[in-house]
A and B are shown apart, each in its own frame.
Chain A
Amino acid sequence: MAGALIEVVGLWKSFNGEPALRGVNLTVRPGEIHGLLGLNGAGKTTTLKCLVGLLKPDRGVLRVCGIDVVADSSYKDLIGYVPENPPLPEYLTAKEFLLFAARLRRLAGPGLSQRVDEMAELFGLKRHYSKLIYELSKGVRQRLAFAAAVVHQPSILILDEPFNGLDPEAQRTAKQVMREIASSEGGVLVSTHLLDSIERICESATIIHEGRTIISGTLDQLRSATNLGYSEPLEEVFIRIISSRRWVS
């Protein structure tokens, strides 16, 4: 699909012969915040891991900005990623970790420290700067992971349960960052169980079930696929779609 920032077509992935993904399709266009929804074990995290290069897909097409993810790693410069419950090097201080993440992403020179400070300020990490990550609470670690994912100003953000442990203030900052990326013709793919958050920030979503895409489209398209009205909360729509397991895409 021309112009798509993220394009996943017919993605398959197995673990020990047991298929976890059996044909996932989704598209994220410029300016879009796209939700990836599904029950526990549906294959959301596996899909995102294939997309960022942490897992090698068995088959299917994965493109980021038109770049084949499997064949060419240059797309990695364009993406930022927050994994679910991100493991972090606990022996580093918060500042050292941000510097490390920034330098991994080839930031250098006088702008490096300035950018790191900006991110720390934005996510309220300045007062934790000299603490070891080991000493930080779960929420502060999550903020740190988020700050590290955007320190190099990526045009595409891939987030796996990014609001885990975040307090309301940090959630607002995270959503603001997501909107800023989308508004500058970037894209965000976010997987979360917090459907009210998806409803507020996403224009479109994909629902996967047992490793397959069962529907993908704008939130209104999702609603119209059920017999529920447009005012129904996304939670109700999601449960109805999952219960019927209708195959749309």
Chain B
Amino acid sequence: MGLLTLLGLLVSAKFKQYLGRVKRSPRSLLSLLLVYLLWLSVVGAMSVVLRISGIVSGSGPRVFLENVTLILVTSVLAVGVFLGMKGGVTALPYEIYYVLTSNIRPIAFLLSDLVFQAIILSAFVLPPTSIVLAMLSYPYHVEYLVRGVPLYFAAIIFTILLGHLLGISRHWFGESRSRVLGWLMLVATFLPLLYLALGVETPPTLELHPSMILMRAVSGQHGELILIAPYYASLVVAYILVARGNFYPSVSPVLFTALMEPPRQFTKYFKTPQPIAKLFSINASGGRVSLMYRLHLTRVVREGTLWTGVLVLLFLTLANSAAPRLMRIGQFPEVAELTMIALYIPLLPALLSINWSLSERPNLWLVSLARGVERNYIAGLFLAYLTVTFPFALILYGAVSLGAEEIPFLQIDLVLLFSMSCFGALLSILTATLLRLSSTPLSITALLFVVLPVAGSILLSLPILVVRLFEPLATDPSLPMMANMALYVGGLSLLLYKIVVRGCSGRLVPAA
């Protein structure tokens, strides 16, 4: 069999497995289509907002496109490094057992994955960015599209090569060195955004960062592209060298769920240092709520899903802090920036609940067998989510407030952060219990796992949000108003908790 035929076979099998559910059910096809259209419409709406705010602030389309390119390329590179740290090669379980044990050469397998990832990533990156380009650069959209789309595709190939190399590097450098390399690369990827978020002038060496080079190239400085050539040359040479060896033993499944399920092979559970380990373990003392609370804390810490969620939030905060400066919007109110961060907070319990649904739900048979522990289970889960969400929200909020030279932690901020954490945790639990999430990365259900807690928390926290946005009320709230808000959050939390307990009753069972 020729290499091309073999590649075709491997790629089509990968697609059939990855989108297998789509073929079996028209409802799944519709679901995938809806998720995709929703993704496109969100991007479209954001472009319109950017366009309007840009007009207000007096920025031209070229500045916009440079900034959009910087954020986009940085995000694409970050995804590559992140996947690289998780394994890099999108090996599905059937490939581990059947393809990797066959006589197919590693280079053929690697190339098939390159094609597969290029198609998937292109489908999710190129159409939305084309929308952004077209909206922001109108009436020069054709010129910008011709210039921008090939550059973005080049960035996609760059990131796949990077992800593959990082994933395979475990085989050559060992697990720990490869992980250190991954973290260093992740920090390096975010450097341009970091400098902009902090408002510090970028050093001249940062001009050689791939994101910065592509940013300049998109605005018409084609000569800049020569600077990216050494990066590609190094990647391709390294790729050819490593693909010659047998890296199969280091391949682990990745990207077959919503990224929140720990990979089955080569999973490393975090072992915390001894004094801290006592906090995150099961012991013989305490009540049942305490038992469940410790169980869930232990899970999110040891499985590392907490760190994935924190990483996502940090990236969003970074992008959020960098965006106004990127757009040269001097009058962007810092209060809005801080409020935006508060709105992201429910993402953390939402992401944790995706993991709960995938990896913890099967263990529920243990809970189902014991009498009268459902309430304790819900209480423990809620307290665990709140324990990780609220302090993290405080740290993030405090850091950004100080960075923005705002007074950290107004009383109203504390109420807002607590309500977002509390409602986010409760709605995440309710969503995860009522909806069954299958191991399909792209589905309406997976989307609802994120959308419902975030949108629900925002709606429920609306009265506090409104107060936060008005200057005299936010900085100098009266005692009765604070009491009212505390009563509102406390009362609603209690009511919501009771709804969650009732809603979850009889549903804490593994899938049939």
Contacts from A to B (Cβ < 8 Å): 15, 49, 52-55, 73-74, 76-77, 79, 81, 83, 86-93, 96-97, 99-101, 103-106, 112-113, 132, 134, 148
B284 / chain A contacts, CB cutoff of 8 Å: 99, 103, 112-113
User: Does any Cβ of A come within 8 Å of B368's Cβ?
Assistant: yes
- A53 touching B510 by the CB < 8 A rule? no
Q: How far is the CA of A68 from the CA of B299 in the complex (A)?
A: 35
- Decide if B282 touches A54 in the complex (CB within 8 Å): no
With A and B bound together, what is the CA distance between A96 and B368 in angstroms?
19
Query: Measured between alpha carbons, how far is A76 from B512 in the docked complex, in Å?
Result: 19
Contacts of B222 in A (CB 8 A): none
A contact residues around B372 at 8 Å (CB): 73
Report chain A residues within 8 Å CB of B288.
103-104
- Which residues from chain B contact A148 at a C-beta distance below 8 Å? 366
**B335-372 with Cβ < 8 A to chain A:** 360, 362-363, 365-372
Residue of B nearest to A99 (CB): B282
Interface residues of B in 149-169 (CB under 8 A from A): none
Whether B298 sits at the interface, judged by CB under 8 Å, is yes
Asked if A73 meets B371 with Cβ closer than 8 Å, knowing A88-B363, A92-B298, the reply is: yes
Judge if B334 is at the interface, Cβ distance under 8 Å.
Answer: no
Residues of B within 8 A of A132 (CB): 269, 302
Q: Which residues of the partner chain A approach B303 to less than 8 Å between Cβ atoms? A: 91
B373, CB-defined interface residue at 8 Å: yes
Whether the pair A54, B365 counts as a contact (CB closer than 8 A) is yes
Closest-by-CB residue of A relative to B377 is: A104
Cα–Cα, bound, A189→B291 (Å)? 30
* A contact residues around B267 at 8 Å (CB): 134
Given A103-B284, A103-B288; A89-B269 close (CB under 8 Å): no
19 contacts between A and B (CB under 8 A): A49-B512, A53-B368, A54-B365, A55-B512, A73-B372, A76-B370, A81-B369, A83-B365, A88-B363, A89-B299, A92-B298, A96-B282, A99-B282, A100-B282, A100-B366, A104-B366, A104-B367, A105-B370, A113-B284
Q: Which residues of B contact A79 (CB under 8 A)?
A: 369
The interface bits of chain B over 468-509 (1 if a CB of A lies within 8 angstroms of the residue's CB, else 0) are 000000000000000000000000000000000000000001
Question: Contact residue range for chain B?
Answer: 20 to 34
Task: Please give me the residue from chain B that is nearest to A97 by CB atom.
Answer: B282
Find B512's partner among A15, A81, A96 (CB 8 Å cutoff): A15
Interface residues of B (CB under 8 A from A): 267, 269, 281-284, 288, 291, 295, 298-299, 302-303, 360, 362-363, 365-373, 509-510, 512
Q: Which residues of chain B are near A103, meaning CB under 8 Å?
A: 282, 284, 288, 291
Is B291 within 8 A of A100, CB to CB? yes
- Interface core residue of A92, A105, A106 (most chain B CB under 10 Å): A92
Contacts A55-B512, A112-B284; is A89 near B363 (CB within 8 Å)? yes
Question: How far in angstroms is the closest Cβ of chain A from B103?
Answer: 28
Give the complex CA separation of A235 and B373 in angstroms.
Answer: 42
Q: How far is the CB of A147 from chain B (nearest CB, A)?
A: 13
Taking the closest CB of chain A, its distance from the CB of B433, in whole angstroms, is: 16
Kindly list chain B residues whose C-beta atoms are within 8 Å of the C-beta of A73.
371-372
